[in-house]
Amino acid sequence: MQSHFIEYIYLIFIIIGLIMVANKLTLAYPIVLVLGGLALSFTNLFSNITIDPELIFFIFLPPLLYDAAWQTSWKDFWKWRRVITSFAFPIVIFTSCVVAFASQALIPGFTLALGFLLGGIVSPPDAISATTILRQVKAPKSLVSIAEGESLLNDASSLIVFRFALAAIVTGQFHLSQAVGSFFLVIVMGTMIGLAIGLIFYAIYRWLPTTPSIEIILSFLAPYCMYYFAERFHFSGVLAVVAGGLLLASKRHVMLTYQGRVQGSNVWSTIGFILNGVVFLLIGLQLPYIVSGVEQVTLGEAIGYGLVISLVLIVTRICCTLGASLFTRFIGRFITVADPNPGWKVPFVFGWAGMRGVVSLAAALSIPVLIQPGQAFPYRNLILIITFIVILVTLVFQGLTLPWIIRKMKMEDPLAAVKEQEQELTIRKTIAQSSLKHLEQVYTKEHGENEHIRNLATKLRTDLSIFENDLDGFNSTGREVLIQYQDIYLSLLDEQRKALHQLNREEAYDEELIRKYLSLVDIEETKLREISISH
């Protein structure tokens, strides 16, 4: 037990080092972690560490999905709901069908049921790798929003296809009408269970005497409860976590204290960072285990099958995204759509961003070794290596070329009517206006009697005047003035830190109090640096 724990400690150090390398090379860290895991797999240093499907599905998947749901903009999700749901359900099922027929025709002795099993495994794109790369290269906001929304739902549909195909292989029976009815039941009931448990947690947050620490602990318990109870009744645990997560995320401003929101955000970003790092490194470490199990065909033939299936997936997804663009232009004549003329650039990049990840490998590893005592599961090891090749090809090849494609296409967000920097100035101006109006109308007496209140009102008027001037000269000298202001303010904050550290050397001052003011300086710098002003 202790030796396994120490191995995971070493892995975390390696993950941190590889992510530093990725940042230095300006590469998406999932790609570097997978390649690093591949390199480590040849050393046999971590041969005891393998992907346990139950560990991935129950330990890793619920918190990662829940965190993704909290980071997702409900407004953007609803805006792109038609595109997201079409790629998360019908197109995942269509992709599974294409893979099923292609693999049956390609691999001797491969049945259609096995093809659907493989299709259910490799059809869902990975959530983290695509959005990480898209954000890193500053892709259009609409593209990132659609990719995030799709990643929340596509695992559910693919795992349902996988579950039905696996049952058909094990039992030897498949009834289409029954499968379709069960498919919708699994989706609807999984969603309802997630919403029901989400409401229970909302009531706990809202009306029980919680503290910030309790709020954070509850946020970790919620996804596991949603996933467990949905899977316990054989419904979709993935959709339960997504539905419940979106519900609670939309109510965070009324159910959490400000300390819970700030502290929880920091804790979740760290936990998500570690979990994602571990799962991507584990993908690369699985190479020896997967290669050692190939029996039905030679290793070269298995790699060839994996490359062909990868090509089928890439082409199918791009055809679907371009086809969806054409359909949107057509249907936009009759109904209101988010973007009536999506063109071909954004759909093509979205199609190219279909990298596969750990959910696919965990699903393949969850295939039972035996159908029944004495009867091995057919082509299990071949499915494993095809899945592994698909992940490598889509994650490494597409992931490395995606930034280059985005730069070459010189993509701009056609729906971004107002630049982000201008939006931020407008938001800050609106906040200052509303604060000043509230201060003058509601606290008229205090405004005249309290010097501190008058100083606050003066500061708000000064800020409001600055924001108005910055907006008027936004495209010319105003930008230079903002940059100068930011640089000088940052230097002042550094001086404040030095002064606080100097005070901390004196015996008379409490270090805990000094740390409190250092934290306030850090928060002020965070606010300043989050303003999108670049030199």
What's the 3-state SS for 448-467?
A: HHCHHHHHHHHHHHHHHHHH
Instruction: Tell me the pLDDT band of 229, cut-offs 50, 70 and 90.
Output: very high
DSSP per-residue string spanning 231-271 = HHTTS-HHHHHHHHHHHHHHTHHHHS-HHHHHHHHHHHHHH
pLDDT value at position 177?
65
- Average the pLDDT over 152-170 and give the result: 81
User: How many angstroms from the chain centroid is the CA of residue 294?
Assistant: 33
- Average the pLDDT over 372-387 and give the result: 83
Q: At residue 308, does pLDDT exceed 90?
A: yes
48 half-sphere exposure, CB direction, 13 A CA radius: 9
CB-CB contact of 436 with 463 (8 Å): no
The pLDDT tens digits of the residues spanning 75-93 come to 788 888 888 888 888 888 8
Q: At residue 57, does pLDDT exceed 60?
A: yes
Task: Quote the tokens at residue 204.
Answer: 């706990």
User: How many angstroms from the chain centroid is the CA of residue 24?
Assistant: 22
DSSP per-residue string spanning 388-451 = HHHHHIIIIIIHHHHHHHHHHHT---TT--S-HHHHHHHHHHHHHHHHHHHHHHH-HHHHHH-H
Q: For residues 146 and 149, what is the distance between their CA atoms, to the nearest angstrom?
A: 5
pLDDT value at position 220?
93
Instruction: Tell me the pLDDT band of 413, cut-offs 50, 70 and 90.
Output: low
Would you kindly state where each structural domain of the chain is located, as residue ranges?
2-409, 420-475, 477-535
Domain 2-409 falls under CATH 1.20.1530.20 = yes
Which of the two residues, 13 and 43, has the higher pLDDT score?
13
Residue whose C-alpha is closest to residue 294's, from 385, 368, 219: 385
Instruction: Tell me the pLDDT band of 159, cut-offs 50, 70 and 90.
Output: confident
Per-residue burial over 426-457, b = 16 or more CB atoms within 10 Å of its CB, e = otherwise: eebbeebeebbeebeeeeeeeeeeeeeeeebb
Q: At residue 418, does pLDDT exceed 90?
A: no
Q: At residue 525, does pLDDT exceed 90?
A: no
Q: What share of the chain in percent tops pLDDT 90?
A: 19
Instruction: Tell me the pLDDT band of 420, cut-offs 50, 70 and 90.
Output: low
The pLDDT tens digits of the residues spanning 180-198 come to 777 788 889 999 999 999 9
The pLDDT tens digits of the residues spanning 128-149 come to 777 777 777 667 777 888 888 8
The span from the first CA to the last CA of the chain, in angstroms, equals 52
DSSP symbol at 512: H
Which of the two residues, 292 and 381, has the higher pLDDT score?
381
Between 29-41 and 399-409, two packed helices, what is the crossing angle to 10 degrees? 150
- Average the pLDDT over 405-415 and give the result: 71
Task: Quote the tokens at residue 368.
Answer: 């039972």
Instruction: Tell me the pLDDT band of 470, cut-offs 50, 70 and 90.
Output: low
Instruction: Tell me the pLDDT band of 431, cut-offs 50, 70 and 90.
Output: confident
pLDDT value at position 421?
65
pLDDT value at position 250?
85
Query: Quick count: other Cβ atoms within 10 Å of Cβ 372?
Result: 9
The pLDDT tens digits of the residues spanning 255-273 come to 888 788 878 888 888 888 8
Instruction: Kindly state the helix (H) or strand (E) to which residue 345 belongs, with its residue range.
Output: helix 345-352
Q: At residue 535, does pLDDT exceed 50?
A: no
Instruction: Kindly state the helix (H) or strand (E) to which residue 195 belongs, with its residue range.
Output: helix 176-207
Calculated CA dihedral for residues 14, 15, 16, 17, nearest 10 degrees: 50
149 half-sphere exposure, CB direction, 13 A CA radius: 23
CB-CB contact of 482 with 470 (8 Å): yes
Q: At residue 219, does pLDDT exceed 80?
A: yes
pLDDT value at position 296?
67
- Average the pLDDT over 13-37 and give the result: 89
The whole model's pTM is what? 0.81
Instruction: Tell me the pLDDT band of 215, cut-offs 50, 70 and 90.
Output: very high
- Average the pLDDT over 227-252 and give the result: 91
Residue given tokens 């039941």 in the structure block: 185
Q: At residue 452, does pLDDT exceed 90?
A: no
User: How many angstroms from the chain centroid is the CA of residue 438?
Assistant: 38
